[in-house]
Chain A
Amino acid sequence: MSIQEEAEVAQNEAAQTEAPATVAVPVNLVRLSKVGQRPDFLDYLVQLWDRRSFIVFDARARVQSGNDKHHLGSAWLVLTPLLNGLSFYLIFGLFLGTSKGIDNFIGYLIIGVFTFSMSTRSILGGAKSLTSNTSMIRAFQFPRASLPIAVNVRELFSNVPVTIVMLLFVIFTAPAEEITWRWLLIIPAILLQFLFNLGIGMLLAPVLLKVPDLSHLLSFIIRFLMYVSAVFFAEERFGKYPVVRTIMDFNPIYQVIKIIRDSVLYDTTPSWRAWGVLGLWALGSVGAGLFVFWRGEESYGRV
């Protein structure tokens, strides 16, 4: 109260004299704080945690409303990857014969396509989370990282029925696979994949906001990523090109797909190396993503 009174008095005095005098306004930082200034990194994380119910609610509301305008509604969550799998099966399995040397090619293909499509949607959604939510950003003051997180949580939610369909496919298409404890390993694998997608989305979102042209390039990058993830052919296909093999070895999405295939289809416990590559990518990208996103926090409101 005191500073404001003082400022008022000073202002009144200046107004009385009618001369352009200088008004001194002391700003007491104990009572007043800067508006819109980004908090410390740790405070930012705490603020994000405080908004967790916002993130979850936003994600839920969008899962429900996302398919409202379609007649089949949420069935498209399952139908889209299904049709995708079918078309890849026709082209690569039957016509081009990439199925050679792969046990249970349908299962192999379904796992590849379903798992990869989750990353595609999450990364694209996360990258566009700032550009597509400008009205939200201009309306409310909240930690902006809630937006890419909400998009990724939504994809995680909508991925649950997709994963169940994927497993049903594996069970009911010949040759049937035995259900072992290893099936549970897909849960940590998908969670690590979620973290990786989130981090990449948060790294891309500020860049996309500054350079919108990049959104045109993004689909090509995703396509390249798909080819080095061995979605619909055996990884030995690239045996002749050691460079591509190395890229694949360090490609986290390929490692997720491999972990799920190993544990669901081939009854082998995934290697520690696969977990290591995936885990490092997941934690690294989420850490870097949060940091980069936080650094640009103040700039997202003005476009």
Chain B
Amino acid sequence: MVVDDISVVYRTKNKTEGRTNARTSVLKNLRGLRRGESTVRTTALSKISFVANQGDSIGIIGRNGSGKSTLMKVLAGLIIPDTGTVYASSNPILLGVNAALISSISGAQNIRLGCLAMGMSHAEIDAKFDDIVEMSGLEHEIFHPMNSYSSGMGARLRFAIAAAVDPEILLIDEALNTGDAQFKDRSKARMEKVTAQAGTVFVVSHSLGTITGMCNRAIWIDKGDFIMDGTPDEVAKEYRNFIWRMNEGNADYGRQIRAELMASLPEMRTTLLPNGWKRSR
């Protein structure tokens, strides 16, 4: 999987003037609208490039709002970046906590619906149905409507559905934090199975323990910038150091670390080999 120079810019409405102030006149709002003052551009990711190899399990760390989830959505092809391209050998599957299914139908029907959405056939689903139910850890609840599930149960069901397709590239967005200990073991086994089949796994987590325990590589992004890429222990060490400096109030030193690490990154340049051209080797 090659990630080439992707940037994502979100355009959102700037609401600072809206409700927080005592009163704003309608006229002023309209004027603001005309001048386009109310929209701000937030750079969620800026010029991120890296290569992920088969067999890698990559942990992604960073503070809140640093673009981790956006990166996952871009890798999964759910968001098309403003610049840059993602190349992959197969279609990546994203497991997110907020990937809601249809809440009014039962878990069993949701399994079928989710699997069909991912392009499986009825026969394949029939073959895998029991595995999915077992993976989700739901018993008779599988026939209850999904809006009666607890958030943990819902998350487990989603994980089980998305893991059912045997993806070559699996993206996990904080889904591991929601389950209980039993579920964590199951999902870890599932991840190891994917990497063992020469697949690639990406894990977003705020728990450095999860990343150092499960991954063989870690990537640190901060406010949309690619800071560091290395072994989980190295990256975790620098990240802890950075967070510690920031919390201590020594923000300048923290920023210095950040800038030094960024400057030491090699620049990546991709060259496209044309489609259908066989390399002689």
A contact residues vs B (CB 8 Å cutoff): 1-2, 4-5, 7-8, 11, 14-15, 18-37, 50-51, 53-54, 57-58, 61-62, 64-65, 68-69, 135-142, 146, 298-299, 301-302
Per CB-CB distance, the 8 closest pairs between chain A and chain B, nearest first, are A36-B77, A139-B99, A54-B116, A14-B266, A135-B100, A32-B87, A35-B77, A301-B78
Asked if B88 and A33 sit within 8 Å, CB to CB, the answer is yes
| Complex interface: chain B residues within 8 A of A302 (CB) | 10, 79-80
Rounded to whole Å, the gap between the CB of A302 and the closest CB of chain B is 5
Asked if B273 and A29 sit within 8 Å, CB to CB, the answer is yes
Asked if B113 and A65 sit within 8 Å, CB to CB, the answer is no
Q: Given A8-B51, A30-B277, are A53 and B121 also a contact pair (CB < 8 Å)? A: yes
Q: Given A4-B51, A141-B76, are A34 and B85 also a contact pair (CB < 8 Å)? A: yes
Q: Return the chain B residue nearest A34 by Cβ.
A: B85
Alpha-carbon separation in the docked complex, A87 to B118 (Å) = 45
Q: What are 8 A-B pairs with beta-carbon distances under 8 A?
A: A1-B54, A24-B271, A27-B87, A30-B278, A32-B1, A65-B102, A136-B101, A140-B114
Asked if B80 and A26 sit within 8 Å, CB to CB, the answer is no
Given contacts A31-B89, A37-B77, 13 further A-B contacts (CB under 8 A): A1-B54, A29-B272, A35-B77, A36-B76, A37-B80, A51-B119, A57-B116, A61-B105, A136-B100, A142-B118, A142-B119, A301-B73, A302-B80
Alpha-carbon separation in the docked complex, A23 to B93 (Å) = 28
B contact residues vs A (CB 8 Å cutoff): 1-2, 4, 10, 51, 53-54, 73-80, 85-89, 91-94, 96, 98-102, 104-105, 109, 112-114, 116-119, 121-122, 145, 158, 230, 263-279, 281
| Complex interface: chain A residues within 8 A of B116 (CB) | 51, 53-54, 57-58
Alpha-carbon separation in the docked complex, A141 to B93 (Å) = 8
Rounded to whole Å, the gap between the CB of A151 and the closest CB of chain B is 13
Asked if B271 and A20 sit within 8 Å, CB to CB, the answer is no
Asked if B75 and A35 sit within 8 Å, CB to CB, the answer is yes
Asked if A34 and B271 sit within 8 Å, CB to CB, the answer is no
Q: Given A25-B2, A27-B2, A135-B99, are A50 and B87 also a contact pair (CB < 8 Å)? A: no
Asked if A140 and B270 sit within 8 Å, CB to CB, the answer is no
